[in-house]
Amino acid sequence: MSSEQKQPPRTPSMIQHFITGGLSSMFAEFVTIPIDVTKVRLQLQGELQGHSATGPPKYRGMLHGAYVISQEEGAKGLYKGLTPALLRQAVYASLRVGLYGHVKSFFKGDSQEKELPFWKKVVAGATCGALGASIANPTDLVKVRMQAEARLPPGQPKRYKNTLDAFKQIYRQEGLSGLWKGVGPATQRAAIVNGVELATYDHLKYLIISSNITSDGAPAHFLSSFATGFFSTLFSNPVDVLKTRMMSQPSGPDGRGLKYSSTLDCLVKTVRSEGLFALYKGFIPNYMRLGPWCVVMFMSFEQFNYIYEYLSDA
């Protein structure tokens, strides 16, 4: 083979995607966590009060919520739960992104088809997301608990001093299983989000490039990731509301939740008390987080891959 002959593109290794997926997701988490904090507060606002709630809500939308949080708690209030959020992405994102390409290869098998069908990509993404979320659940639980601390009545001491203390307290009071509280809705959400997110980005990028709309570069990555954020939010918001409520609820001496006994119980009580649209509480801040999150994550993911391959060839 001539040295000038064009080499076929190299297939990224699992290790490469573990590293680049984790780094890009941690970067996206850092950029967008103020929106996530606001989203959690909005989703928990008026929980199970229904029409019995008196007075105006504390947070009147995302911008007002972010303003109130920054005024009452300072700028650091918008970054509550950052440490467990980064820990979660280091585990969760590394697994879901690192495994995705290889799970796709498993589904493709010996098939000669040029591109895997979209539905198989959805199944591959959902599989990786569910696996990653089930393993990383303790970090997600601590993040939600710490973000919800501000809901405690004035004068009541905080439950957790810091991230490490939160892990210790939850383990001591609720046992090992307490760290996996809410794993059902968390895994369901992750399967939905990843099934939609990874497959949509992957397939849209393929369609944009193969249709010669633009080449494989920043414009293709931006268009694909921007659309991906909307579809991910649309399908995941109801499960996200249930997950947030299951994880943030107080526990009794036996470690059982005091408000909801299961995901189904949480769903029934939420809809009965607050109506069906309660499942889309926080949709705008959720999209305003997932939209930029997807853009930052996927575009930085592509760049981290370029850097990784450059350093590997150096």
pLDDT digits (tens, 9 = 90+) for 239-295: 888 888 887 788 787 777 888 888 889 999 999 999 998 999 878 877 888 899 999
Q: How far apart are CA 232 and CA 196, in angstroms?
A: 6
Instruction: With beta carbons less than 8 A apart as the criterion, state whether 246 and 262 touch.
Output: no
Q: What is the mean pLDDT of residues 88-107?
A: 91
- pLDDT level of residue 207 (50, 70, 90 thresholds): very high
Better-predicted residue by pLDDT, 111 or 117? 117
What pLDDT does 286 receive? Answer: 79
Q: How far apart are CA 42 and CA 290, in angstroms?
A: 15
What does pTM read for this prediction? Answer: 0.74
Rounded to the nearest 10°, the torsion over CA 181, 187, 190, 196 is: -150
Rounded to the nearest 10°, the torsion over CA 191, 194, 200, 203 is: -100
What pLDDT does 2 receive? Answer: 40
Q: Is the per-residue pLDDT at 52 higher than 80?
A: no
Q: How far apart are CA 125 and CA 158, in angstroms?
A: 38
Top mean-pLDDT range of 99-103, 233-237, 254-258: 99-103
Query: Whole-number mean pLDDT of the chain?
Result: 85
Instruction: With beta carbons less than 8 A apart as the criterion, state whether 147 and 80 touch.
Output: yes
Instruction: With beta carbons less than 8 A apart as the criterion, state whether 173 and 96 touch.
Output: no
Q: What is the mean pLDDT of residues 105-132?
A: 89
What pLDDT does 227 receive? Answer: 93
Q: Is the per-residue pLDDT at 5 higher than 70?
A: no
Q: Is the per-residue pLDDT at 55 higher than 70?
A: no
What pLDDT does 152 receive? Answer: 67
Q: How far apart are CA 22 and CA 297, in angstroms?
A: 10
